Amino acid sequence: MNSVFRVLLIAMVALGSTNAMAHSMEDVEASLNEKERYAQFVDQPAPEFDLTGVDGNTLSLADLNGKTVVLNFLYTRCTEACPFHMNLIRQLQTGVEEEGLSEEVVFITIATDREDVAGTRDNMRAYGDNFDLNPDNWHFLYRGEGEPPGLTSELAKAYGVQFRDTGEGVQVHGVVTHVIDPEGQMRARFHGLKFKPEHLVTYLTAIAKGPNAAADDGFWGRLHGRIEELLQSE
């Protein structure tokens, strides 16, 4: 390889590396805002919870300190939006597994049913089976026996999502997927069912591995990789 050309390549690698190091979470969020119309980025404390899983064990937000949390609410007797929401959660879990983030990211689903606890837990188990969700990093939580029927719908309200009981065995509600960082800060809300799962996985990667990890597929990342290939092939 021509020595002058080699020097130029090395300089470009250095420049690309410097550019990559300049990435921040704000850069990642700005980039995603351009591509993902359903993403809303925030920075505020996530409401605390202390709920019971289908196995009878309790889990709180404090227990998840150090983990990035993907949290959603659903009504287990819903036959419309909620199954589609859980399909999105399954896609996200698959994306997290493919990125090697299963140890860093935990999925929390919270049932808002006001009906009996036993029947709701049966529905919760069925959701896990039907969508083949991996229980290693996914937990389905609900109120315990004797706790107020509206406990989890009030929690959803604290997260900014309304679940309104119509009195006919139906709940009218919004659909939001929340992202909480390892310090317990709410960082993002992905609204509805039309967001691209890969965009949310990119954001999770940025939180778990740092913003540069999420930028690896950008222009400088691709250029940097190609130049390194040329240098190594000499």
Beta bridge partners of 73: 110
Q: Residue type for 17, please?
A: S
Question: With helix as H, strand as E and coil as C, how does 32-50 read?
Answer: HHHHCCCEEEEEEECCCCE
d(CA 150, CA 70): 22
> Is residue 49 within 8 Å of 61, Cβ to Cβ?
yes
**Residue 134 buriedness (CB in 10 A; 0-12 / 13-18 / 19+):** middle
Would you say 199 is a known binding-site residue?
no
Is 139 annotated among the ligand-binding residues?
A: no
- 3-class DSSP state for residue 189? strand
Rounded-to-integer distance, Cα 3 and Cα 211, Å = 34
10-43 exposure pattern, b = at least 16 Cβ within 10 A, e = fewer: eeebeebeebbeebebebbbebbeeebebbebee
Residues comprising the binding site for Cu cation?
78, 82, 173
Residues comprising the binding site?
78, 82, 173
